[in-house]
Amino acid sequence: MFENIIGHAGVVGALRAELTQGRFPPASLFFGPAYGGKLSTALETARVLTCAAGTAEWSCECRACRLSKDLSHPQTVLLGPRYSDVEIAASADALMRSRKPAARFLLVRAVRKLTRRFDPSVADLDDTRVKGMQERVSQLEDLLAELPAEGDLPPEAQLGKLLEKIAAAAAPVAAQVRLDSLTIGQVRRLSAWAHLTSAESRKIAIVENVDRMQDSARNALLKLLEEPPSSVTLVLLSTRRAAIIPTILSRLRPYSFAPRSAAEESEVLAKIFRRDTEGFAGLRAFFLAWREINPEKLQLLARRFMELARDPGEAAVDIVEEKAELLPEGPSRRGRSSRDTAVSFLEELAAGMGGLLRSGELPLGALERWNESVREASARIESLNMQPAAVLEALFHRLRSEAAA
């Protein structure tokens, strides 16, 4: 088990022991940096829990494992925001270049990480936007069926057209999933699904970015965690453990995913996405590039943002020009929005703040206040759908006042 996971030896070892001994908890939290393999590990955990043969090896050919591996197992559900747009694009690129079964498998899983969020069992069908996506979700499944599970792929030109159709059908669905927060309607549907009896022995619910929830959804999830059905396992994922309310945290067993080493990230790029590792400074830079965001430019803007905030002698109006550079009008060719860029910028700010602490340029107390301000700014953009430009301008003035204090 977990043969498909690169890195995270400590977490994988703990999970393997707990699953083998039947000690995996009914509710857990996988937390760590973005692009760190949390979802892949959660999906492998779900496969092991539902394996009908009891072997739990990746090579297992039981019906449950076959369904789990291509993400079509009916008793495993997915919820929560995800960066499916760039993942599908990167997977399609890998398939075009390698034309190998592993690359086809990668694309199918990338698409189903998106479409499974619209399963009637957990989708909030009272939301008109969700109902409007059902036809595109069906279209995506039809397009996947045109990729033969075995044998030769279509000729290059035909395959290219098919992948373009998949990308076009996935784009509006992925845009909604990427930016939406978890709603009370989704959590209520999840709870109803969890309490339904089933012929299957085990149900698995995987909820990504659980920190991005509306207040009402948090309360509904808390109720489910307080009285979970014995046949249901909940695996929650987050990049921001500190943003999850204590009453929910107290009911979860935490598993910390440390950042992968540079060598491990290079291995992911080479083995999974079939890319030359010299072209990208890690997985985050790889996925930012698919969204047409320059990581080096982002880093420079974040550094300048912090410099202006820490120096009251600098003219605050300068940040307006840099904000305009950071948040260009209109979406990019690949669908990048100002929200995408703003969230990536806030991630860069959070990473840069650690450097300020290590260099002694920012006291610990000020760093804690800055980190909290950045988390609140992220929540305003991701969960409350506030305008990124207004949020960033307010954040700048708040950081400046906190630095002065």
Q: What is the pLDDT of residues 202-260, one digit of tens each?
A: 899 999 989 888 788 889 999 999 988 888 999 999 988 888 889 999 999 999 999 89
**Interstrand relation of 76-79 and 203-207 (parallel, antiparallel or unpaired):** parallel
Flag whether pLDDT at 317 surpasses 80: no
Count of beta carbons in the 10 Å neighbourhood of residue 227: 9
Top-confidence residue, 214 or 157: 157
Q: What is the pLDDT of residues 2-48, one digit of tens each?
A: 988 998 999 999 999 999 999 999 999 999 988 899 999 999 999 99
**Do 174 and 308 fall into the same domain?**
no
**Do 306 and 265 fall into the same domain?**
no
Provide the pLDDT confidence category of residue 185 given band limits of 50, 70 and 90.
confident
**Do 220 and 320 fall into the same domain?**
no
Per the domain annotation, does 281 fall within a domain?
no
Q: Judge contact between 178 and 340, C-beta under 8 A.
A: yes
**Do 82 and 147 fall into the same domain?**
yes
Per the domain annotation, does 322 fall within a domain?
yes
**Do 70 and 202 fall into the same domain?**
yes
Q: What is the CATH number of the domain that holds 176?
A: 3.40.50.300
Which residue range(s) make up the domain with 399?
Answer: 291-404
- Which domain-ending residue is among 211, 241, 271? 271
Q: What is the mean pLDDT of residues 84-110?
A: 90
**Do 366 and 222 fall into the same domain?**
no
Top-confidence residue, 319 or 138: 138
DSSP helix/strand/coil, 77: strand
**Do 239 and 124 fall into the same domain?**
yes
Predicted pLDDT of residue 329: 44
- Residue 204 carries which side chain, given as an amino acid letter? I
Per the domain annotation, does 306 fall within a domain?
yes
Q: Judge contact between 327 and 338, C-beta under 8 A.
A: yes
- The answer to which of 97-101, 199-203, 269-273, 296-300 has the lowest mean pLDDT is 199-203
Per the domain annotation, does 399 fall within a domain?
yes
Per the domain annotation, does 66 fall within a domain?
yes
Query: CB pairs under 8 A, 24+ apart, for 376-384?
Result: 377/346, 378/240, 378/243, 378/343, 378/346, 379/211, 379/212, 379/243, 381/339, 381/342, 381/343, 381/346, 382/81, 382/179, 382/181, 382/209, 382/212, 382/339, 382/343, 383/181, 383/212, 383/213, 383/214
What average pLDDT does the chain have? 83
Q: What is the pLDDT of residues 37-72, one digit of tens each?
A: 999 999 999 999 999 887 778 889 899 999 999 999
Q: What is the pLDDT of residues 321-368, one digit of tens each?
A: 555 455 544 444 444 567 778 878 887 887 777 666 566 666 667 677
Q: How many domains does the chain have?
A: 2
**Do 231 and 356 fall into the same domain?**
no
Per the domain annotation, does 280 fall within a domain?
no
Q: Of all residues in the chain, what percent carry a pLDDT higher than 70?
A: 87
Per the domain annotation, does 285 fall within a domain?
no
**Do 231 and 355 fall into the same domain?**
no
